[in-house]
Chain A
Amino acid sequence: MKIAVIAEATSLGIITPPGAHGFDIACGEGQAWGVATQYGGPYVGFMVVKDALKRHMPGRLVGETVDVDGKRAYVLTLATREQHIRRGKATSNICTNEALIALAANMYLSLLGKEGLREVGLQCLHKAAYLRARLSETSGVELPFNGPVYNEFVVRTPRPARRAACRSGKREDPRRHRAGRFL
């Protein structure tokens, strides 16, 4: 069984889906899907599986169907908690309801849509490439890793960058005051 872990959820807008690479399960952290930092949490995670594994997923699955008028509707399709089915058959005893955060992430994804998520992914990719190129030309800045990046990368400075930013407040150059905002 192959499991894919997605470190940056917005990258899913532009990368090949993990299932196309033969992964059976893909999971990750979805804070970037419209869930702002909130004094340490809560966050949202996601997990998707191949069809054959769906009955082993913890929690509940909501399926899409149509109502009596033929309109799109959603219904609780699979509930594998021991409260819903025989304990011996249950695959989940997840009880805490984090639906509010999941709802926020769903709203974000719904508002963006497939094309919007792709646009977010492309913007992250291109802007990170731009910043990386600018920093590579900056005296004293090293980029210690040269593998492909999406929207995050490591920067190395001659001395601890945070200390440099703090000291910079004593100088007259106004740009130096701004460094602390970023670091």
Chain B
Amino acid sequence: MRTPGRDFLVAVTELHTREHLDQFVAALSAAIAGER
């Protein structure tokens, strides 16, 4: 079931580097931690 606002789509392209992806994980993790 969809949960509005909590669900979002992640799209990865060939231009993303591993560093970009790691930065995204770190940023999202930090944002979630800040909400708690």
Contacts and interface: CB of A to CB of B under 8 A. Distances in A.
Interface string B2-36: 01011111111110101001111111111111111
The B contact surface, by secondary structure, is helix
B6 A161 contact: yes
Interface stretch (A15-23, A69-77, A91-99, A129-137): A129-137
24 contacts: A120-B14, A124-B13, A128-B12, A131-B21, A131-B25, A135-B25, A138-B32, A141-B29, A151-B11, A154-B7, A155-B10, A155-B28, A158-B32, A158-B35, A161-B8, A161-B31, A164-B31, A167-B34, A168-B27, A175-B30, A176-B34, A178-B27, A179-B28, A183-B28
A134 B11 CA distance: 14
A123 interface: yes
B28 A138 contact: yes
A138 B25 contact: yes
B30 A152 contact: no
Interface of B: 3, 5-14, 16, 18, 21-36
B28 to A, nearest CB: 6
Interface in A138-183: 138-141, 144, 151-165, 167-168, 171, 173, 175-176, 178-179, 181-183
The A contact surface, by secondary structure, is helix
Given A167-B34, A178-B27, A179-B31, A156 B7 contact: yes
Interface residues of A, number: 43
A134 B21 CA distance: 9
B8 to A, nearest CB: 5
Given A158-B6, A164-B32, A164-B35, 6 more contacts: A131-B25, A155-B7, A156-B6, A176-B34, A179-B30, A183-B31
Contacts of B30: 168, 171, 173, 175-176, 179
A138 B29 contact: yes
A178 B35 CA distance: 15
